[in-house]
Chains A and B, each alone.
Chain A
Amino acid sequence: MPGVLTLALTKGRILKETLPLLARAGIVPVEDIASSRKLVFDCTRPGVRLLVLRGTDVPTYVRHGAADLGVVGKDILLEEGADDLYEPLDLGIARCRLMTAAPVGWTPGPGRVRVATKFTGIARRFFAQQGRQADFIKLYGAMELAPLMGLADVIVDIVDSGNTLKANGLEPLDLIADISTRLVVNKASMRSQHAEIQELIAELREALA
């Protein structure tokens, strides 16, 4: 929509940390996102509206131009590839690490490693760089369970405090990437609404400082 910037936010933990940051840049939703069941929100700042989506859907909305900007974890950008997006700003929130983990004391044997993960693309690239053959099992949650039940040898997952790993008898092994939340921009919007988007990026950058 011309004249209106649509900003797609990732719901959940990232959203909680994004809202105060947006507020410092003068973007406050007119109703409470947490209690509303709506998915589109107008803002106190004219010309900006917010969408609240699942993280994996944010790059899709921004790529297709259904949203002009997005707030999304670097893990999702790494997994899905972000060639067709601009990624100008690290918002520095929801920081965590993407790591491999295995049962305490596990050592790689000969032959192929079985890897359970939500991030099969990242895992495939990582193991290839390590020069190790691996099989990948796509899971959608509770990766920690897979080694316990003998489904996989290793997992690739987001590690925050490491407490969930410890509680399930796993330990983190290799760091694959440091993850934080990024601002992404649609390439066409960057052209057609250049001044507005540059202004918004500058204000967010100031709010981060």
Chain B
Amino acid sequence: MTTDDRWQLPDGIEELLPGPASRVEALRRRLLDLHRGWGYQLVMPPLVEFTESLLIGLGADIDRLTFRVTDQMSGRSMGIRADITPQVARIDAHSLADKGVSRFCYAGSVLHTRPTTLLGSRSPLKLGAELYGDASLAADIEVISLMLETLGAAGIKGMTLDLGHVGIARCLLAELDGELHDSVYEALQRKSLPDLEKLLEGVDPGLAARVLELAGLHGGLEVLDQVPTGLGDIDAAISELRQVAAAIAERYPDVDLYFDLAELRGYRYHTGLVFAAYVAEQGRALANGGRYDDVGQVFGRPRPATGFSTDLMVLLDLADAEEAPRESAIAAPADGDAALWQAVARLRAAGEIVINDLSASRDGRCDRQLTLRDGEWTVEELE
């Protein structure tokens, strides 16, 4: 093993050095304080759990994104969490089991077996919120608002809110069976009209036409008018989209709204409204979420659920890169009498950084020093 092999980190695994580390931590505190103000209670689920509770069908991808190890205590398979939402769902369904509405927030690292995007990290720092026990649109609007507030508080500007509803595709694709359903779903995600035309050759022409139309339904508010009416589930979905769009437009007039009715991210576990926030030039959503009712079923307690999550590392990269003010510290002699010790303690308690002079070279952050003047330890500017 050469030195070059020793210092390298695995692909997609990051460390945070002094400047960025304190900015991420400051951001994490600010955002969790924001969530607290909205009544969301902080939970800290564990880093590893048995795979049975982690892999509860919240996304087909989660299964292959999860690192597994064998628990030597029980012989069971454990997973290093690749997503925190299933853990919070378990907490809501089993650990707490409150009857009313529960609001939770969390912030923590997850680990992925492979990056989910090009050049993406395998160790995102997820921050998110989940709301359980309320199936109303007001809950969705609350979570979307909290997501936009979160991004705003992180300094993100010029956002576009994507709104979709898996009920529309689900209603149309319900009539297709097995393999064809999966192929059509896959082609819809790519909005591949040529592939869809080919796949739907043998299908009822009316249905084929509606699925092809769905692939083209993306853009501004006007796309909601282009959806064919008369199918119960679809009409209900469109009505929900209109109400949410109106509420968000009133609260956040600066946020652009974009509708993509064929956006099927999370199609397999989402049950209603889905949403994501984007900024220009970024192919990947900064934050996303949606309704995933009844996921607690596997823990014996189905509940309405909606929530969102974001990655603090990505937010930090995109937030206005205002230079953090240079840290200002006070140098103090490393050895001195009790009076020095008390003077240092007072300064630290007042929020100052006080650094002992340990060796010949003084810490570069010091711009002041403690000196003994007329029997008093006083702070003086350094030259």
Contact = CB atoms under 8 A, between A and B. Distances in A.
B118 A63 contact: yes
A187 interface: yes
A126 interface: no
Contacts, number: 56
Interface stretch (B91-99, B136-144, B278-286): B278-286
Contacts of A86: 190-192
A191 B190 contact: no
Interface in A165-197: 180, 182, 186-188, 190-192, 194
A97 to B, nearest CB: 14
Interface string B249-286: 00000000010000000000000000000101111100
Contacts of A188: 278, 280-284
A85 interface: yes
A2 B220 CA distance: 19
A186 B283 contact: yes
A190 B195 contact: no
A194 B160 CA distance: 12
Contacts of B284: 188
Contact of B191 (A87, A192, A194): A87
Interface range on chain B: under 10, 10 to 19, 20 to 34, or 35 or more?
A: 20 to 34
Interface in B161-213: 162, 186, 189-195
A74 to B, nearest CB: 8
Nearest to B117: A84
A83 interface: yes
Given A64-B118, A191-B162, A87 B192 contact: yes
Contacts of A192: 160, 280-281
Contacts of A194: 218-220, 258
Contacts of A191: 160, 162, 258, 278
A87 B278 contact: no
A186 B280 CA distance: 12
Nearest to A193: B280
B283 A84 contact: yes
A41 B160 CA distance: 31
Contacts of B190: 82-83, 85-87
A24 B269 CA distance: 45
A96 interface: no
B158 to A, nearest CB: 10
B162 A65 contact: no
Interface in A72-117: 82-90
A198 B282 CA distance: 19
B283 A87 contact: no
Given A190-B218, A191-B162, A88 B193 contact: yes
B132 to A, nearest CB: 31
A91 B282 CA distance: 27
Contacts of B191: 86-88
Given A87-B190, A88-B192, A188-B283, 17 more contacts: A63-B283, A65-B281, A65-B283, A84-B117, A85-B190, A86-B190, A86-B192, A87-B191, A87-B194, A180-B194, A187-B283, A188-B280, A188-B282, A188-B284, A191-B258, A192-B160, A194-B258
25 contacts: A64-B283, A82-B190, A82-B192, A83-B189, A84-B117, A85-B190, A87-B191, A87-B194, A88-B191, A88-B193, A88-B215, A89-B193, A89-B194, A90-B193, A187-B283, A188-B281, A188-B283, A188-B284, A190-B218, A191-B160, A191-B162, A192-B280, A194-B218, A194-B219, A194-B258
Interface of B: 117-118, 160, 162, 186, 189-195, 215, 218-220, 258, 278, 280-284
